[in-house]
Amino acid sequence: MKKSFKLFLAAAVLVTEFFVVALPLMITSAKADGHPIQAITHAGFGGGTDVTTRMMLLRTRRYLKQDMQLVNKKGGGGAASMDYMMTLPADGQHTLTWTTGHAVSMALGKTKVKLSDMQPLARGTDDPQLFVVNCKNDIKDAKKFISAQKSKSLKYGTTHVGGIDDVSAIAFTKKGKLTDPTIVPYKGVGPIKTNLIKGDIDVGVLNLGEAVTEIEDGTLCVSVVLASNRMEKLSNVPTATELGIPVVLSTVRGFVTRKGVPADRKKQLEDAMIKAMEHKYFQSFLTDIGLDSTSVVGADEWGKQMEVMLAEMTAQLKALGYIN
Amino acid sequence: MDNLLLMMAPLFSSKLLLVLLFGTLFGLILGVLPGLGPTTGGALILPFTMTLDPLSAIVLLTSIYCAGTYGGAITAVLINTPGTPAAAATCLDGYPLAQKGEAGRALGMATVSSTVGGIFSVVILVFFAPILAKLAYEFGQPEYFALAIFGLTMLASIGEGSPIKNLIAAAFGILISTIGKDFMTSIDRFTYGINELSVGIGFIPVVVGLFAISEMLTQSTLLHQVFKRVALKAVKLPSKEDYKKTWKTILRSSGIGSFIGVLPAEGGTVASLIGYSEAKRFSKNPEEFGKGSIEGIAGAEAANNAATGGAMVPTLALGIPGSATTAVILTGLIIHGVRPGPDLFREQPDFLYGIFGAMLIANILFFIFGFFGAKIFARITLVPNKILWPMIFTVSVCGTYSLSQSILDVWIMLFFGVLGFFMRRFGFSVVPVIIGLILGELVEGTLRQSLVIFDGNWLIFFTRPIVVTFFILSFIALIFPLLKKKK
C-alpha cells in the first residue's frame, strides 16, 4: 500500500470518527464532568415550545454556571416527557417544559403523573388565543362575528383536536349560546391561514405570533381576543369578556421539576430562569411573538395557573365528550 | 433584482459558504463511492442537520445532491462503475475513452457539461418560482388532496421497478403514515400503548434504514468485488474542437434533464439515459457512441445534473419529490418545520432564493473541485467495503439515536434496513415507501378536511379547476405505463 493512500485512509477514518464521536457530543453539548442539566421537552424542533425552551436555556445555563442539555421526549402529547422525568432522581438536574398540551394529556389520563408529582419553577410565555378572520369578511367586527354565529355554524380552523384550540372555540360558543361550530382540524397553522385567505373556512384559532405577518399586512384581522385584558399590539380588538362571553384561554409554557428536589436547589433553578427570562434576549423574543414581560412569572403564580389550567381543561374535555 | 440579491446571500455568509464547501466535498466523496451516492449520504447526514438552522441544513443537502450527482461520473469514467445510478449512461463512453488513454479529456467534458447542466437547471428553477408563488392562494385542501393523488400515481411510471410493485410499496408507505395520533379525532392508531409511537413513525429512521442500512446489507454481499482503475494524469478542459462538437448536445441535454427533473418521481437516472440517447440520435457520428464518444459523455452528464434543479421544482413547489435524493431533501424540509408547497414561495422567498443561490454556487464549486481534485477523489474507491460500511453503520445508529435519544428509533431504522434489503432483492424500489409515507398523511388529512369544510359534499372535487386538472393528470399517469407496454 502506498504511503499517500495510507495517509488518505487515516484521514477518512478521522473524518468518519468526527461524525461518530465528536458531532453527537456537540449536539448534546455534554460537559466533560458528565453533569449537564436535562431540559426535557415534548415538542418538535422549531415549534413554539422548542423555541421557548431554547431561549430560556440561553442565559439560564450561564447563571447556573452549569451546562443544560435539551432532551426531546416526544409522544402522548407530553405524557412521554412527564413519564421520562419521573424516571430521573429528584436531584435538581432536570427541568421539564410544561404546557397546555400536558394539561390535556393529564386530563385525558395518558399518564399517571399528577400535578403533585411536580414542582413549578417559572412561566415563560402566556399567549392568548385569538379568533382570526379574513379582513374582507364582515365578521372581522366582533359584534357581527357573534351575530353571524347566532344564525349559522361558523367553520373554525384549529391545530389538532382535543387541545386548547377547539376548547377555545367550543367554550366561546357554549358560553355565548351560539350555534355549534364546525371544527376543521389542521396539522399546523400554515394551511389554516391559506384556507382563511382563500375563504374556505371562517375563523382561525391562532396565537398572535403565528399570524403577525398577515395581520400587519392587512390580509388577516383579529376579531376576538380570549384574554382578560386587551393586548398591547391589538388595542382595538375587544376581549371575549368585554363582549359578555367570559372565556379566558391561552397557550401557556412554563417550567417544572420533580417533587422532592431540595428546596435550595429548586430556588436556585427558579432564580436563574427568572433572571434569564428577564434578559433582553428573552424579552425581545417575547416582543417578536407579540407578547410582553408579563408572560414571565415565578413559581407561586405559575403553580396556581397550572392547577387552574388542569381543572379548566378537564372540565372542557368533559363537556366536549372526550372524557367521562 | 431583489431575488438576485437573495440568491447571492450565501456568498455573504461565512457559515453558509462553509456549509456549501463541506456539502460539495462530502457530496463528491459520496458520488465517487459506488453504492453510496447523494441519496444514501443525504439520509446519513439528515439527523446531524438538526444542529443547523433550516437554510443551512437544506443548503447542505442540496450541495450534496449537486456534487454527488456529478461525482458519480468520476468512477464511471475511471473504473467503469457508476458512483451513482444517474452516471450509468456516462460509463458507456467515458470508460472506453479512458481506456484509449484519454481519461483526462473524458472527465474534463463530464465536469464542464455537468456544470452547465446544473446551472441551466437552477435558472429554470428561478424562472418557475414567481409563477408558482402566484398559485399559493389557489391551493386549498381539495387541491392538496388532488396533488397528493397525482404524486402517488406518478409512482406508476417511475423509472426503477415495475408500476405495480411501486404502487404496492407506496401503499405500504401510506399504511405506515397512519401510525400515531390521528390529528382529526385525537385517537391513537396502531400505537399499542407505546406513547412514543403516538407522534407517528419518524421520517429519519425510515429514510436512514431504507437507504443506508439496506445498501450496507446489499454491499455485504459484494465484498469480493475488486475495481480496476484506469490511470489518470490530470483533468483536461475540453478543446475548442470538443466544444464545437458538443455545445448543442450540452444545451439539448440540459433542457431534457431540467424537464425530466421537473416531472415528479422521475430523476437523474432517466434524464441521463434520455439525454444520452437523444445525443446519439442528433449526432453526426452515431457510430462512435459506445466506443468513447465525447458527445455521449456530454449528453449524459449535462442531463443528469440538469435534473437536480428540475427535481427541486416539484419538491419545493408541490411537496412531491422529483427523485430519491429530493425525497430525502423533502424529509429535511419537513423535520425543519418548513412546509413545502406554493405557500413557501410566497411566505419565505429569502429561504428559497438562498437555496437557489447555494445550488448555483455548488455547481461552480464542484467544477473547481472536480477539475483539480478528480485524481484524489478517484483514490477514495480504494477504501475497502469492509472498512467503509461498518463506519456508515455506526454513523447511522448514532445519527438516528441522537435525534430524540430514542432507542425505539434505532429499532425502527434497523427494521426498515432489513425490509429495504429484501425489497431490493425482490425488485421493489424503496423510494415509493418514502413518498407514500410523506404523501399518505397529506392524502388522508386533506380528504377528510375537505369533506368537513364542504359539509361532506364530494362534488367539490369535480368543480374546482385545479383539482380536476390534477385528476386528469393522475389518470394519464396511471394509464401511461399500460399504453407503453402495449406498444
CB under 8 Å to A197, separation ≥6 — which residues?
A134, A214, A219, A220, B137
Res B265 pLDDT > 60: no
For residue B95, give the nearest of B86, B84, B103 by alpha carbon: B103
pLDDT tens digit sequence for B62-96:
999 999 989 888 878 887 767 777 887 888 888 88
Lowest-pLDDT range of B124-133, B247-256, B425-434, B463-472: B124-133
- In b/e form, how buried is each residue of B183-206, taking b as 16+ CB within 10 angstroms? bbebebeebeeebbbbbbbbbbbb
Cα distances (Å, whole numbers) of residue A150 to A180, A199, A203, A240: 9, 20, 15, 15
The cell for B270 is 432517466
Taking the CA of residue A77 and the nearest CA in chain B, the distance in Å comes to 8
**Which carries the bigger pLDDT value, residue B234 or residue A114?**
A114
**A299 falls in which pLDDT band (50, 70, 90)?**
very high
pLDDT tens digit sequence for A130-171:
999 999 999 999 999 999 999 999 999 998 787 888 889 998
Question: Which residues of chain B neighbour A87 with C-beta distances below 8 Å?
Answer: none
Cβ–Cβ below 8 Å for B183 and A161 = yes
Cβ–Cβ below 8 Å for B453 and A19 = no
Q: CA-to-CA distance for B243 and B455, rounded, in angstroms?
A: 62
Lowest-pLDDT range of A221-225, B212-216, B263-267: B263-267
Res A127 pLDDT > 60: yes
pLDDT at B376: 77
**B47 falls in which pLDDT band (50, 70, 90)?**
confident
Domain map (residue ranges) of chain A: 31-126+252-320, 130-234
**Which carries the bigger pLDDT value, residue A244 or residue A161?**
A244
Q: CA-to-CA distance for B99 and B94, rounded, in angstroms?
A: 9
pLDDT at A136: 94
User: Which residues on neighbouring strands pair with residue A297, listed in sequence order?
Assistant: A123
Helix, strand or coil for residue A227?
coil
Count of positions (residues) in chain B = 487
Domain map (residue ranges) of chain B: 2-486
A-B Cβ pairs (cutoff 8 Å, strict): 123
Res B479 pLDDT > 50: yes
**B114 falls in which pLDDT band (50, 70, 90)?**
very high
- In b/e form, how buried is each residue of A93-120, taking b as 16+ CB within 10 angstroms? bbbbbbbbbbbbbbbbebbebebebbbb
Q: CA-to-CA distance for A288 and A306, rounded, in angstroms?
A: 25
Res B332 pLDDT > 50: yes
pLDDT at A12: 57
- Looking at the domain covering A31-126+252-320, what would its CATH class be? alpha beta
pLDDT at A29: 43
**Mean pLDDT for chain A?**
85
Res B36 pLDDT > 80: no
User: Same CATH topology for A31-126+252-320 and A130-234?
Assistant: yes
pLDDT at B110: 92
Q: What is the DSSP letter of A19?
A: I
Superfamily of domain A130-234: Periplasmic binding protein-like II (3.40.190.10)
**B330 falls in which pLDDT band (50, 70, 90)?**
confident
pLDDT at B263: 67
| Percent of chain A surpassing pLDDT 90 | 48
The cell for A108 is 385525558
pLDDT tens digit sequence for B358-412:
899 999 998 998 888 877 776 766 677 777 778 878 878 887 887 677 888 899 9
For an interface test with A, which of B26, B36, B186 has the most A Cβ atoms less than 10 Å from its Cβ? B186
Query: CB of B380 within 8 Å of any CB in chain A?
Result: yes
| Percent of chain B surpassing pLDDT 70 | 88
Put simply, the chain B residues between 229 and 268 with a CB less than 8 A from any chain A CB are none
The cell for A139 is 365578521
